[in-house]
Chain A
Amino acid sequence: MDKNFQEEFKPVIKFEPPLYKQRHQFVKDLVEKYKPKKVADLGCADCSLLWMLKFCSCIEVLAGLDICANVMKEKMHTLSPLPVDYLQPSERSLTVTLHHGSVAHKDPCMLGFDLVTCIELIEHLEESELKKFPEVVFGFMAPSIVVISTPNSEFNPLFPRVMLYRHPDHKFEWSQAQFQSWALETARCYGYSVEFTGVGHPPTGMEKVGFCTQIGVFFRKSPQTGESVQSEKPTEAVYKTVFKAVYPSLKDGKYLQNAVISEVIFTAQIIKHRLMSKREESGDDPERKSKFQHSVDSFSDCLGKLVVEKHMEPFVSGNEVYIPLSTIFSFPKVNRLCGTFEKLCKLIAGKVTLSSDGSAVMFNIEHENEEN
């Protein structure tokens, strides 16, 4: 390409959104489409792709691998749970792990993944590493889907400043034909099919150079090959774990119990407040009433449309307020958390003060009267 041509195209080669964002978006779209549960990003660098993926609700296990621990450490704390994740534990479980190691080595921690992404990774590999790479990723890890992206060297002349490679650490940059033949051969060898695409459209009129970043998406043909491979080659751990974060989740008994207890007590408090304010509104001094009339106030209007048997209604007796568990269980939030009434009882056992027969939450209001 002559010099004039390059100059002419200088301003054109600005991608919007930036190319790395487009690559990440590509992976994200793929995740949305195939809903993998376990995703690994090889060559995760500053963890920005992992950070983006942690918001995808289908993913339960996220792993990152990089040869450089420092670059991972720089931003790894962005992968930690946020305070709000602890305050409102989510339904799904999520574990994020970062490993320090090479894609030329096998480590059992990389087994069992649904999706493995290698975004702008292979061009950083030395020849010897590149040779081992297919065996490690396709043969050993053997996930259902592998995504590999790499620069398309045919696009390079459109960049005014790129002399040989786009980055000094690149060991090679392939043309479309080179990448595709490598990919097809790899796919054939390990029983995968491959589709080619890319991000970063070439300028109009230059379509034949192809995408700026070329991408191969590999799908494993047989659903269960991975397992046989695993058992054949038991390997020992060679990666070093540099970071691990387990997100609070309602799947974890501890968080579920906390959430249920908190919701039960809160719901019971609401019912109690309404009950008490109703009594106050009725005009009489609550203390006098409970002393002299021994009245049992019933309270059902707060339940709205729910039909509750008469003996299952909240009531006040002396200084104690009783709110039946069945009433609390009928609140949608509690109901959704516990699923069954038995589970509710089990989860709050010993943590919430109940009536002697265990059928109702009990509050003592003697103290409150005093303080107020």
Chain B
Amino acid sequence: MTGRARARGRPPRQAPALPAGGDAPVQQGVPGQLHGQRQPQQLRVPPAQAEEPGGHGRAHSGDAGPQERRPGLQVSSGLQDLSLRDRGGRRRDFHDLGVNTRQTMVHVRESKTGFSGRMIKLTTNHFVLTSRPHWVLYQYHVGYSPEVEARRLRSALLFQHQDTLGATHAFDGTILFLPRRLQSKVTELLSRTRNGEDVKITVTLTNELPPTSPTCLQFYNIIFRRLLKMLNLQQIGRNYYNPSDPVSIPNHRLMVWLGFTSSILQYEENIMLCADVSHKVLRGETVLDTMHSIHSQVGEERFRDTCAKELIGLIVLTKYNNRTYRIDDIDWDNNPKGTFRKSDGSEVSFVEYYKKQYNIEITDWMQPVLISQVKRKSRNIQGSVALIPELCSLTGLTDKMRSDFSMMKDLAIHTRLPPEQRQRELSRLLTYIQKDENVQKELRNWGLSFDYKSVSFTGRVVQGEKIFQSGTMFDYSPQFADWSRETRGVPLIRAVPLDSWLLIYSRRNYDAANTLLQSLFKVSPSMGIRMSKPSMIEVDDRTETYLRVLQQRVTPDTNIVFCILSSSRKDKYDAIKKYLCTDCPIPSQCVLARTLSKPQTIMTVATKIALQMNCKMGGELWSVEIPLKQVMIVGIDCYHDTVSGKQSIAGFVASLNQPVTRWFSRCVVQSRGQELVDGIKACLQAALRNWSKWNKCLPSRIFVYRDGVGDGQLNTLVNYEVPQFLDCLKSIGTDYSPRLTVIVVKKRVGARFFAEVGGGLRNPPPGTVVDTVVTRPEWYDFFIVSQTVKNGCVAPTHYNVVYDTSQLKPDHVQRLTYKLCHMYYNWSGIIRVPAPCQYAHKLAFLVGQSIHREPNLLLSDRLYYL
């Protein structure tokens, strides 16, 4: 159960006392090998590291044993031996340290910076970390004889020797970091437990780490978190929040805490702290409260289903400890009277346990029990934890809440901070750090300090793109990054006629259907869309009726099916989409009647709908100049279905023509937990087949924009997915070797840039490219700010070129990427990611949310998923 189950075991060590002088010279940093002649039997065990990229930690502490190091020798430690953490649980390599992709790309080894565009002065949210000259971090291995399991006890026993070790230390149970060198390389200490047992502790120097070693980077992060804790900030999940000054939004029973995200990393020239303001949305109600209100809303019949839909996947906080759990399941057959087995083997009921342990009385004994899976990847242990709804508070927003316009509006007031305010909040944090005596003392003791002024540098704003539509060329205002006005009433590149189409509506939406039709007839001629009168079909508002009508009336000649829906009830939408995407592959357009109800916006809405329908039928809207020839652009994104089926969907799209206005798409439905696309090979093969059908040859260049790569997954992507691409290309033919570029696209990054304009801070304009100072030296990476935001701070998108044989200059890769951000047809403006990523996302989302299996391939050359 909960915490106790987390006590980690470690691999058996036969003779834990480590020899003085280190007679076991152990190399480190070589994944796939378990070292130490003390455990010869372990050599046959499959290597743990190879399975878990970025995995490092206690489970491997056996190979982090004593190392033969000449003092003074600067050796950057591998990460494999680092397991230091500031709280329970295994720490993933969130920052993808140790993935060095740049070194394999010769053409960017010297420089990865672009040159085009005008200069712009930028400030960021990075702060330089400095250490005193000749700074060294001493890493020790701590062994216990007899072996002591509990981390707490290990820690308590060790720090009985505070006099010897000093007051400044960081210890995770196995590895000890000290800011100074102990007198001897091996220190033996004797401690006594409460039971009067003597334990011999051997502290062995294993490493002397320079400030830039990856181990140190993780160490800095842990120390920084310690500082935040000293400032009395509360840890929720990975970030720290200030609980003393919450914003409450009683209308929605929400509370917003202001907090900070922080990470310390090696950037181009400096080790820097990247700090950002973060908001945590908390809810003033327990899971049980929510269950009650769900019950009163939907009634008994749909209660369990609705609970599952709304609650699974949410993160909860418990009343009694400071941990967060994800709700993975609800056990309806259990209740608080049920029992579980404690670590000592005794059975106890939840009611008794919470009473005894925390003095908490559970009042509702009939409530179900929530199940949370506790992952411990490295050892393939899947434990689950049972939680009582009454004792859990919800955090974050549900999808339902996200779609609540008024709620999001109320929230945005508090969470969308404009640049100036955002920097002000940040500097408040740094002032706390600077002013707090204890924090400063801790920093001093470690010999570290921060530059409290954020880093400034120059970026570039690349030239705006020209938008081409049927021989006409448009500029757009960079301020809005939108050309819907400019292109209004201009013929589309390729308009697909609506010769035969269905318009399905229910009786109460008769007016809406007519209004829509009139408006469509008004807007479509100027776009060049030829439109016939549709078959108008009135239905009663039931899912079965819709489906029956579709079965009876859709013919092979039907261009598109248009449905006007009364409510945003998902089941009807899902049923229609599922039928028309799989069994009967015809593009479809669903619109809520409410959207059509406002006379003042109906023309705008009709214009957008006409454009969208045209795309769904294979039309093309506009283009930008793509200077590369014979190029195929690929976009990949993933959708993880957490509710039903627990499957993941990978959306895959690839351009089909030279101006990249037409897209081929496939998707892969994969089972749970499989993060990275397995079926990519088949997708890519199909895409190449189609490309060659359209172009009568194979592409000579392929660009893959890969979205949906989580923190810490980069290694797997580089070592597993990229080879799949290469394999696939090889399989096409021996004489076929196109140039391949793989770019990992990341939207959720901590970096923020602010343009210094007239003494104030503004959002940087679209087209701002950053490829110095705050990028990573070991990567070929850059940031682009492509979109604009009305309020709050614009988030740059991070691009990491992990594989590149294109021989293109970085400037060209940056420009191409920015161009592709102009090509998303559902938005007449620039978006945050290249269009292929957004298309792939849309596809994966539609399949994951509504269809749950691969759509019919007959649709694959159209943007039916918009």
Segment 400-437 of B: residues with Cβ below 8 Å from A: 405-406, 409
Q: Is B9 an interface residue (CB 8 A)?
A: no
Contact with A19, one of B194, B282, B283, B320 (Cβ below 8 angstroms) = B194
The verdict on A261 contacting B322 (CB below 8 Å), with A70-B159, A168-B192 known, is no
A87 and B283 CA atoms in complex are apart in Å by: 7
- Distance between Cα atoms of A264 and B360 in the complex (Å): 27
Interchain CB contact under 8 A, A262 and B594: no
Return chain A residues, CB-CB under 8 Å to B241: 83
Q: Mark A262-278, 1 if CB is under 8 A from B, else 0.
A: 11111001000000000
- Once the chains bind, are B156 and A46 in contact (CB under 8 Å)? yes
* A252, chain B: closest CB distance, angstroms: 12
Tally of chain B residues near chain A (CB < 8 A): 44
Q: Does A74 contact B (CB under 8 A)?
A: yes
Residue of A nearest to B233 (CB): A80
- Bound Cα distance A13, B196 (Å): 11
Instruction: Of the listed stretches B21-29, B95-103, B247-255, name the one at the interface; the rest are far from the partner chain.
Output: B247-255
Known: A87-B255, A262-B248, A262-B253. A81 touches B195 (CB 8 A): no
- Whether the Cβ atoms of A82 and B322 lie closer than 8 Å is yes
- CB of B284 within 8 Å of the partner chain: yes
Q: Digit string of A1-37 for contact with B (CB within 8 Å is 1, else 0)?
A: 0000000000001101111100000000000000000
Residues in A with CB closer than 8 Å to B155 are 74
* Alpha-carbon distance A63/B318, docked complex (angstroms): 25
A258 at the interface (CB under 8 A from B): yes
Q: What are the residues of chain A within 8 A of B197 when measuring CB–CB?
A: 161
Query: Most chain-A CB neighbours within 10 Å: which of B194, B195, B283?
Result: B195
The yes or no answer to B234 lying at the interface (CB within 8 A) is yes
Query: For residues 313 through 348 of chain B, which have their beta carbon under 8 Å from a beta carbon of chain A?
Result: 317-322, 344
Point out the residue from A19, A74, A83 that lies within 8 Å of B159, measured CB to CB.
A74
**CB-CB nearest in chain B for A14:** B195
Q: Which residues of A contact B594 (CB under 8 A)?
A: 372
B747: CB under 8 A from chain A? Answer: no
Q: Is B75 an interface residue when CB atoms closer than 8 A count as contact?
A: no
- Cα-based distance from A82 to B322 in the complex (angstroms): 6
Q: Is the CB of A371 within 8 A of B243?
A: no
A188 at the interface (CB under 8 A from B): no
Do B194 and A372 touch (CB < 8 A)?
no
Contact A269 B251 (CB under 8 A): yes
The answer, among A70, A80, A168, A258, for a CB contact under 8 Å with B248, is A258
A83 contacts B234, CB within 8 Å?
Answer: yes
Looking across the interface, which residue of chain A has its beta carbon closest to that of B255? Answer: A87
Task: Return B662 CB to nearest CB of chain A, in Å.
Answer: 36
Chain A minimum-CB-distance residue to B232: A80
Task: Report the minimal beta-carbon distance from A306 to chain B, rounded to whole angstroms.
Answer: 17
Q: A57-B359, A82-B322, A258-B248 are in contact. Are A20 and B194 (CB under 8 A)?
A: yes
Chain B residue, CB-CB nearest to A245: B232
Asked if A368 meets B248 with Cβ closer than 8 Å, knowing A55-B359, A161-B197, the reply is: no
CA of A55 to CA of B354 in the docked complex: distance in angstroms? 11
Question: Chain A nearest CB: distance from B228 CB in Å?
Answer: 11
Closest to A262 in B: B250
Indicate whether A308 reaches chain B with its CB closer than 8 angstroms: no
Residue ID in chain B nearest A80 by CB atoms = B232
* Chain A residue nearest to B197 in the complex (CB): A161
**Smallest distance from the beta carbon of A69 to chain B beta carbons, Å?**
9
A residues less than 8 Å from B248 (CB atoms): 258, 261-262
What is the 8 Å Cβ interface bit string for chain B, positions 260-283, against chain A (1 contact, 0 not)? 000000000000000000000011
Distance between Cα atoms of A13 and B197 in the complex (Å)? 12
A295 at the interface (CB under 8 A from B): no
Decide yes or no whether B383 CB sits under 8 A from chain A.
no
Residues in B with CB closer than 8 Å to A88 are 284, 286, 319, 393
Q: Which residues of B contact A84 (CB under 8 A)?
A: 317-319, 393
Does residue A291 face the partner (Cβ distance < 8 Å to B)? Answer: no
Question: Would you give the shortest CB distance from B775 to chain A, in whole angstroms?
Answer: 35
- Whole-angstrom distance between the Cβ of B324 and the nearest chain A Cβ: 9
Interface residue B167 (Cβ < 8 Å from any Cβ of A) = yes
Closest A residue to B253 by beta carbon equals: A266
> Are A83 and B236 touching (Cβ within 8 A)?
yes
Specify which of A20, A56, A77, A264 is in contact with B229 (CB 8 Å cutoff).
Answer: A77
In whole angstroms, what is the CA distance A159 to B193 when docked?
13
Contacting B at CB under 8 A, from A150-188, are 159, 161-162, 166-168
The docked-state distance in angstroms from the alpha carbon of A371 to that of B196 is 70
Contact count band on A: 35 or more
Instruction: Tell me whether B198 is interfacial, beta carbon within 8 Å.
Output: yes
Interface residue ranges of A220-279 to B (CB < 8 Å): 258, 261-266, 269
B253 CB to closest chain A CB, in angstroms? 5
Residues of B within 8 A of A86 (CB): 243, 246, 255
Question: Which residues 35-81 of A have a CB within 8 angstroms of B?
Answer: 46, 55-57, 70-71, 74, 77, 80-81
Distance from B3 Cβ to chain A, minimum over Cβ atoms (Å): 12
A residues in contact with B253, CB < 8 Å: 262, 266
Q: Is the CB of B393 within 8 A of A166?
A: no
Complex alpha-carbon distance, A56 and B322, angstroms = 18
A290 to chain B, nearest CB (A): 17
If the complex has contacts A19-B194, A88-B284, A372-B405, are A82 and B246 also in contact, measured as CB distance less than 8 A? no
B14 at the interface (CB under 8 A from A): no
Interface residues of B in 680-714 (CB under 8 A from A): none
Query: What residues of A have a CB within 8 angstroms of the CB of B192 in the complex?
Result: 166-168
Which of A83, A159, A265 interacts with B322 by CB under 8 Å?
A: A83
Q: How far is the CA of A57 from the CA of B159 in the complex (A)?
A: 33
Q: B751 → chain A, closest Cβ, in Å?
A: 27
Neighbouring B residues of A19 by C-beta, 8 Å: 194-195
Query: Which residues of B, 186-226, contact A by the 8 Å Cβ criterion?
Result: 192, 194-198
Contact at A82–B194, with CB atoms within 8 Å?
no
CA distance A86 to B244 in the complex (A): 8
Name the B residues within 8 Å of A55 (CB-CB): 320, 357-360
Q: In the complex, what residue of chain B is closest to A159 when comparing beta carbons?
A: B196
Chain A residues, Cβ within 8 Å of B167: 70
Contacts of A70 in B (CB 8 A): 159, 162, 167
Q: In chain A between 108 and 167, which residues have their CB closer than 8 angstroms to a CB of chain B?
A: 159, 161-162, 166-167
Q: For the complex, what is the distance from the CA of A161 to the CA of B196, rounded to whole Å?
A: 7
- Chain B residues with CB under 8 Å of A77's CB are 229
Which residues of the other chain, B, contact A74 by a CB distance below 8 angstroms? 155, 159
Contact of A87 among B159, B162, B284, B406 (CB under 8 A): B284
* Nearest CB of A to B835, in Å: 29
A residues less than 8 Å from B243 (CB atoms): 81, 83, 86
Q: A84-B393, A86-B243 are in contact. Are A56 and B284 (CB under 8 A)?
A: no
B317 contacts A166, CB within 8 Å? no
CB-CB < 8 A to B317: which residues of A?
82-84, 87
- Chain B residue numbers with a CB within 8 Å of A258 are 248
Q: Which residues of B contact A (CB under 8 A)?
A: 155-156, 159, 162, 167, 192, 194-198, 229, 232, 234, 236, 241, 243, 246, 248, 250-251, 253, 255, 257, 282-284, 286, 317-322, 344, 357-360, 393, 405-406, 409, 594
Mind listing 26 A-B residue pairs with CB under 8 Å? A14-B195, A16-B344, A17-B344, A18-B195, A19-B195, A20-B194, A46-B156, A56-B359, A71-B159, A82-B317, A82-B320, A82-B322, A83-B234, A83-B282, A83-B393, A87-B255, A87-B317, A161-B197, A162-B196, A166-B192, A166-B196, A168-B192, A263-B250, A266-B251, A269-B251, A368-B406
A74-B155, A87-B255 given; name 20 further pairs at CB < 8 Å.
Answer: A16-B344, A55-B320, A55-B357, A55-B358, A55-B360, A71-B159, A77-B229, A80-B234, A82-B234, A82-B319, A82-B320, A82-B322, A84-B318, A84-B393, A87-B317, A88-B393, A167-B196, A261-B250, A263-B250, A265-B251
Report A's interface with B, CB cutoff 8 A.
13-14, 16-20, 46, 55-57, 70-71, 74, 77, 80-84, 86-88, 159, 161-162, 166-168, 258, 261-266, 269, 367-368, 371-372
A-B complex: 10 closest residue pairs judged by Cβ atoms: A262-B250, A265-B250, A55-B359, A166-B196, A86-B243, A162-B196, A55-B358, A371-B405, A84-B319, A84-B393
